[in-house]
A and B are shown apart, each in its own frame.
Chain A
Amino acid sequence: MNTYIDPAPDAVDRAALQAALASVLPAQAILAEAEQQRPYECDGLPTARALPLLTVLPETVAQVQAVLRCCSELGVPVVTRGAGTGLSCGATPLESGVLLVTSRMDALLSVDPQRRTARVQPGMRNLAISEAVAPYGLYYAPDPSSQIACSIGGNVAENAGGVHCLKYGLTVNNIEALTVVTMDGELLELHVDDEGPDLLAAFIGSEGLFGVAVEITVKLLPVPATVETLLVGFDSVADCASAVSAIIAEGVIPAGMEMMDRLALTAAEAFAGAGYPQEAAAILLIELDGEAALVAAELAVVEATLERCGATSLRRAQDAAERALLWKGRKSAFPAVARLRPDYYCMDGTIPRSEIGAVLGYIAERADHYGLSVANVFHAGDGNLHPLILFDANAGELDKAERLGADILERCVAAGGTITGEHGVGLEKINQMAVQFSDAELAQFRRLKQAFDPRGLLNPGKTIPTLRRCQEYRAILADRAA
């Protein structure tokens, strides 16, 4: 949402670049016409758009290596894109660069049911992995809301989360190894058991600034024998928020614990008809999974805690169909809320769980101040907020929406949290990096980037702001405060 500053490298001879790429790629792997490239001009946050010099869709690891070697020689920057479902403009192309799309590399390479791992190509869709390994009684745990469409390569680049992170972690906790192509076209193997600093963990979530993951070994989990899903209503957001902390304080870590406020649950109900209690001020969706006796023991604790915390309604899904229906409401909440106004803007701050009530109160207050509505549907167990700011860009409300978004992120930092829990920084939150980090910390990030990509050709301008940009943004904040 911030003004995009193209780092404007040396002018590139487009014809020379196209000729060079044509010598290493089949003709169908290069898109040069504007209308062919139009579908790739933005990711899931369409506020920043650009048409690249060329878009390439390699089909093999060797082709990815050749593309990067070629761009490296010509000094052309490269932006990597998976399925383009990202929500922070991480895959926005550069007008002066090449867009490398991994969607044609979508194969399952191998499954090792004994060790519970699968080796896949980066363009494979998140949900397709779980579908492919289902015959072995296994699945891949991280499940972003976009899991039908998003690719595992993009998940690795953004360290994507999902609704089951509370118990099973983010992408970084579920990857065993990566094969990576560096900007100079070399292959690099990163493994979770490598000696020394955890380069694998550092690569995950590096937003395309370190290299291109071309083979990904994911960890798989056994499909749980028993799953229980609860739909719980509350009279107040505060009661709902405190129930979240109370359950965890009781020693139970649910597989997922999702919260929706009235605006979100009403919209979701109208969209999905899941039977959410319309009179509730907030609801929780709680999922427990695992071995039958363990789940039964946890269920007893959770139900007693919910009663103590003032739950006004409690419904337990009786079968798989009902469970799917309860989740359908949650998973369609974003599109459901989006129907309420012409535009929406999804935030992604994370805060300590105990701050949920206070920060939601602040969000409501600031929304009133700007005259905008905010719906909240989020991963309460992780303290990962997703306020959806509703606005109408045609009515000139974009600026207000961005201001409200910045206020929310900065409040998250003040509450001891972070500007992004799972969506990444991209272009969207690059200004807020100056709020969360000191100049020395940002300089350390830049030096780490240089260790992987010395010439700064991979996804330049994203994620880590320049020193000058930080100073400018901090000056703006100081002016506002004065």
Chain B
Amino acid sequence: MSDASVTLAEQLLEARASGQRLRVCGARSKPWMATANAQWLDLSAHRGVVSYKPAELVVVVRAGTPLAELDAVLAEKNQMLAMEAPDFNGCSTIGGAVALGWAGSRGVFAQGVRDSVLGVRMLNGEGELLRFGGEVMKNVAGFDVSRLMVGSNGLLGALLELSLKVQPRPVAEITLGWDVPDLAETRQRVAEWTRRGLPISGASLEHGRFRARFSGPAAVLDDLAKTLGGEPEDGVFWEQLRRLERPLFHHGWGDEKLFDANGQICWTAHSRRQGEGATVSLAQGPDLHKSAHRSLLTRVASAFDPAGVFAAALA
């Protein structure tokens, strides 16, 4: 539990004065963040839950707090984040999760990361400490900078603190498995279940095995298991997926793909030489939709960071 915001602002201003570029980082857990042509502005010491009001469904947390730590605090009150952000090496931070903007296995059926973000405290490129949004459910005062920050990957400044909407944990969950021919088949089933209002909360296809997760009251899930058929599976699968701990990620399956989030996220892993593990890569992810408005993006970045301290994030 410590507040490093003053130190971080000083570090930023020093870098700005000397023309040094910075990259914001938390746990540096994202495989593609391994190298960067800049110095790190390291948020990992800025951590801890600032306030948590379970009856308000709101938690305020410093950006460097590990997801696992936040999850544990929420679990004590039988709550959780609506998103199931990837926890690549078991120490990913909440700030990194929001900056990435992936909602993971559950997100596609519930809500995206931006739907959980109620407010932020941040440092812009000028080293100014700013607060946008807040801790209430509805807030349209001024422009929606809090949600603008989702997916910004450190381009607009450093997220210091987040107020997030939380939700009750489901009373129970089941995972059912089927062997299916392809992704089209899984999507068709998911569409049908969604139309019927079934409480689906995960859909993944790995090596011809389709796994679907449902969340809700135990009695409802028992009935569902009977009507839908399928074989009961271990729910730990989703935790492994979130941490990239499925066998695919360790030794690779050639051209085989692993689909998560009803096909929105697709992983591949190519074998290296024996004993060296696999190269994990993302064939398709929710943030890979290339936007066609680079000039606007550049102007928005300059609005937050006129000196270009964080411009390396745009490269």
Contacts and interface: CB of A to CB of B under 8 A. Distances in A.
Interface stretch (A26-34, A163-171, A259-267, A270-278): A163-171
B289 A197 contact: no
Contacts of A437: 141-142
Interface stretch (A49-57, A184-192, A392-400): A184-192
A307 interface: no
B14 interface: no
B55 A354 contact: yes
Interface string A417-455: 111111111000100110011101110110111111010
Contacts of B130: 438, 440-441, 444
B145 A353 contact: no
Contact of A201 (B114, B216, B306): B114
B9 to A, nearest CB: 12
Contacts of A251: 78, 168-169, 171
Contacts of A433: 141-142
Interface string B185-228: 00000010011111100000000000000001101100100000
A198 B291 contact: no
Interface stretch (B89-97, B132-140, B174-182, B275-283): B132-140
Contacts of A381: 137
A51 to B, nearest CB: 28
A384 to B, nearest CB: 5
16 contacts: A195-B151, A195-B288, A197-B150, A197-B297, A201-B147, A222-B197, A225-B196, A248-B57, A249-B55, A291-B197, A294-B220, A297-B216, A383-B137, A436-B142, A441-B132, A448-B145
B56 A352 contact: yes
Interface stretch (B34-42, B152-160, B249-257): B152-160
Interface in B88-129: 101, 111-112, 114-115, 124, 128-129
B141 A196 contact: no
Given A198-B147, A201-B148, A352-B136, A137 B195 contact: yes
B272 interface: no
B287 interface: yes
A251 B306 CA distance: 45
A416 B297 contact: no
Interface residues of A, number: 85
B136 A383 contact: yes
Nearest to A210: B143
A445 B144 CA distance: 9
A193 B220 contact: no
The listed residue with most B CB atoms (<10 A of its CB), out of A116, A193, A437, is A193
Given A416-B135, A450-B303, A445 B296 contact: no
Nearest to A169: B115
Interface of B: 53-58, 78, 101, 111-112, 114-115, 124, 128-132, 134-145, 147-153, 155-156, 167-169, 171, 191, 194-199, 216-217, 219-220, 223, 286-293, 296-297, 299-300, 302-304, 306
Contacts of B220: 291, 293-294, 297
A206 interface: yes
Contact of B290 (A158, A195, A202, A384): A195
B289 A195 contact: yes
A165 B135 CA distance: 16
A237 to B, nearest CB: 18
Contacts of B293: 188-190, 199
Q: Which label, helix, strand, loop or mixed, suits the secondary structure of the B interface?
A: loop
A175 to B, nearest CB: 11
A421 B191 contact: no
Interface in A108-146: 114, 116, 137
Q: Which of A192, A195, A246 has most chain B Cβ within 10 Å?
A: A195
A418 B306 CA distance: 29
A197 B139 contact: no
Given A251-B168, A441-B132, A193 B142 contact: no
Contacts of A419: 141
Given A193-B287, A448-B145, A198 B115 contact: no
A373 interface: no
Which of A197, A198, A433 counts the most chain B CB atoms within 10 A?
A: A197
B315 to A, nearest CB: 12
A422 B136 CA distance: 12
Contact of A198 (B101, B134, B136, B141): B101
B140 A205 contact: yes
Interface string A42-64: 00000000000000000000000
Interface string A445-474: 101111110100000000110000000000
A444 B111 CA distance: 28
Contact of B217 (A188, A205, A297): A297
Contacts of A452: 296, 299-300
A444 B137 contact: no
B143 A421 contact: no
A429 to B, nearest CB: 7
Contact of A197 (B131, B156, B195): B156
A173 B143 contact: no
Contact of B194 (A222, A246, A352, A422): A222
B151 A196 contact: yes
Nearest to B157: A444
A457 B71 CA distance: 46
A133 B107 CA distance: 25
A451 B291 contact: no
Contacts of B195: 137, 222
A445 B143 contact: yes
Interface centre among A166, A196, A201, A379 (most CB of B within 10 A): A196
Contacts of A418: 134, 136, 138-141
Contacts of B55: 245-246, 248-249, 353-354
Given A114-B191, A293-B220, A451 B296 contact: yes
A206 B169 CA distance: 34
Contacts of A206: 143-144
B219 A192 contact: no
A468 to B, nearest CB: 18
Given A198-B147, A297-B217, A421 B128 contact: no
B106 to A, nearest CB: 15
A225 B197 contact: yes
A246 B57 CA distance: 12
A451 B300 contact: yes
Given A172-B144, A297-B219, A421 B151 contact: no
A429 B141 contact: yes
A300 to B, nearest CB: 10
Given A170-B140, A436-B141, 10 more contacts: A197-B148, A198-B147, A206-B143, A225-B196, A245-B55, A290-B197, A351-B136, A420-B141, A440-B129, A450-B303
A297 B300 CA distance: 47
Contacts of B198: 291
